[in-house]
Structure 1
């Protein structure tokens, strides 16, 4: 939940002054709009001009989660003017259709949470790194943070308790390690739930942490890849920026240079997948082209993704420019001598 207690004393208004999408003439101008946000003023320009990329949550030095308030009011006032039909399609598309039948697991062993991607990313979840893991997946485990991109946070609050109950029904306990396939799951369970006072009944593990530990356990088998890579940092990673250091550690282990490009780390760019559906086709195209060209300009040979949607959105543009696209686990598997059939 949004904590407004530091806003009045804030000198930098970093949440807005660092925004990549909204320009303010001065800190005072930004401060006035933040005041409107706090007062739930429908005329607050932040609500309309925001591109729903979550970045302000990371920019805020007080960890006050301004995007929670922005998103809540965007839904309340329909500030983004999103077609109700498109929103309903998104709501229906990721709603679990069938009755949930739990597949019991051993709570003493780690679980790979495949989220909604057991089919879409099936080939990326194979091999010695993953074959011995028990797993859960499908829409009954879908993490729901997608709905922040269409200004429907109420759907998240409605569905998350059901998802957590599904985990409980499989037999997890507070010490069960659940490896999250992507940042939206990990961001949900380690940030969103905490700030909304929702108890998580297991121990979330970031995929980077799992991959790093697996590599350390098999360090003698690693052959350096000697590649230059651009990282496509996804929106949900804004909730868990501490994981970025682990990616650096993985890259060092496997001989991958993460190029120091313009659109990375705190200045990472949204893949712009949701922009077009909100009426911003030209901005989506420009954002994607600028992002991929930036990878090329800094000499990247491959692009690392951690979000299936980012990969699906940008992969064609990336490969057209002569780069290959991988999840970091793919590169780790290659470094361990595995041959990937994709």
Structure 2
């Protein structure tokens, strides 16, 4: 069994407790945050376990890299304080069990692009930008063999992740690719953040999609025609696990000639799309989610955004239509980059 590598002495010595005082969904001053963190460290019930919306942001806010969010989720499971109703958790855990036989493991000599459980989004990774990678997990019948499992942080179930993750890692590693580019932030965050935090070995090198796109576009600079759009970026919760890769958002925007509009809910202050908040057990969670989404969209409109750029498929599914209804076109980052070199998006 894998255990979280958490140093309680770092938290006890912390003077700011940014992980909780900076939370956008729980109002806490430093003394309150200190007291609640001590409860979490001791394995006692805390209001944090009930009020956490599982947005991952405290992983980024922690200046010590001590994994407060992973601790919160671990304690939720230990104390049976579930963020979602039990039937939803049970169904979600069963949903991602691999079925319909084993995947066909084709050797990959160079770099691979791992689609995870989003084989249906293969049309969004076509064209010249992706000519030098081999796609992995393109069969929707076998895609759960490549599932990174990190979704279960929203369910308060680190045990499910730890039980299944090694098998997913082994499936990816079996292809033999020297580098694995991950389409989804969640997959990258799994192998770059979660796995090391729990002492789970990852035998391949992971590359963030945005880092890869920046490299490819850099080699095609003569083909880029500035798009001249004003864009907002919907930062996904799992991006909080790899904040060192977030600067590639603005690097890409600069490279393809779009303006990243200045708004309130951006970067470390980004708001959750609300996909998991909607179904949480907290009273009024649905109303809170809708208000949150409206606040986010109003912020985009006020800033003059013409496009809303997504990377997370769940964010796109949750916010894509509301954004479009507000007159802002939703688009995946990969498709936006393809437009800049004269290719059409799906």
What is the TM-score when the length of structure 2 is the normalising length? 0.93
Match of 2:319 among 310, 314, 317: 314
SS at match of 1:242: coil
For residue 142 of structure 1, what is the aligned residue in structure 2? Answer: 147
Match of 1:32 among 28, 31, 35: 35
For residue 140 of structure 2, what is the aligned residue in structure 1? Answer: none
SS at match of 2:295: helix
Q: CA deviation at 1:216?
A: 0.8
Alpha-carbon separation, structure 2, partners of 1:97 and 1:261: 44
Q: For 1:77-92, what aligned pairs fall within 5 Å after superposition?
A: 77-80=79-82, 82-92=84-94
Alpha-carbon separation, structure 2, partners of 1:300 and 1:81: 33
For residue 272 of structure 2, what is the aligned residue in structure 1? Answer: 270
Determine which structure has greater relative contact order: mean sequence separation of CA pairs < 8 Å that are 6+ residues apart, divided by chain length.
2
Q: CA deviation at 1:131?
A: 4.6
Change (3 A) 1:150 1:81: closer
Say yes or no: does 1:304 pair with 2:306.
no
Alpha-carbon separation, structure 2, partners of 1:106 and 1:86: 37
For residue 210 of structure 1, what is the aligned residue in structure 2? Answer: 212
Query: Residues 173-206 of structure 1, C-alpha deviation per residue, up to 9 Å, x if partnerless?
Result: xxx1111001001101111111111111111111
Query: Residues 66-109 of structure 1, C-alpha deviation per residue, up to 9 Å, x if partnerless?
Result: 111100111122223632211111112222113223322223x1
Q: CA deviation at 1:295?
A: 0.6
SS at match of 1:111: strand
Q: CA deviation at 1:214?
A: 0.8
For residue 17 of structure 1, what is the aligned residue in structure 2? Answer: 21
Alpha-carbon separation, structure 1, partners of 2:33 and 2:85: 29
Query: Residues 217-270 of structure 1, C-alpha deviation per residue, up to 9 Å, x if partnerless?
Result: 111000000111111111111010111111111110100111121111001111
Alpha-carbon separation, structure 1, partners of 2:85 and 2:329: 35
Say yes or no: does 1:116 pair with 2:117.
yes
For the Cα contact (< 8 Å) 1:53–1:235, is it kept in 2? yes
For the Cα contact (< 8 Å) 1:102–1:169, is it kept in 2? no
Query: Residues 36-92 of structure 1, C-alpha deviation per residue, up to 9 Å, x if partnerless?
Result: 1111112x1111111111111111111111111100111122223632211111112
For residue 70 of structure 1, what is the aligned residue in structure 2? Answer: 72
For the Cα contact (< 8 Å) 2:83–2:155, is it kept in 1? no
For residue 281 of structure 1, what is the aligned residue in structure 2? Answer: 286
Q: CA deviation at 1:153?
A: 1.3
Alpha-carbon separation, structure 1, partners of 2:157 and 2:296: 27
For residue 44 of structure 2, what is the aligned residue in structure 1? Answer: 41
Bigger CA drift: 130-139 or 51-60? 130-139
Alpha-carbon separation, structure 2, partners of 1:318 and 1:180: 25
For the Cα contact (< 8 Å) 1:3–1:66, is it kept in 2? no
Alpha-carbon separation, structure 1, partners of 2:309 and 2:62: 26
SS at match of 2:247: helix
Change (3 A) 1:83 1:274: same
For the Cα contact (< 8 Å) 1:105–1:134, is it kept in 2? no
For residue 5 of structure 1, what is the aligned residue in structure 2? Answer: 9
Alpha-carbon separation, structure 2, partners of 1:261 and 1:3: 36
For the Cα contact (< 8 Å) 1:3–1:65, is it kept in 2? no
Count of paired positions = 334
Unaligned runs of 5+ in 2: 138-142
Bigger CA drift: 97-106 or 203-212? 97-106
What is the TM-score when the length of structure 1 is the normalising length? 0.95
Q: CA deviation at 1:169?
A: 2.5
Q: For 1:95-134, what aligned pairs fall within 5 Å after superposition?
A: 95-107=97-109, 109-119=110-120, 121-134=121-134
Provide the aligned C-alpha RMSD in A: 1.3
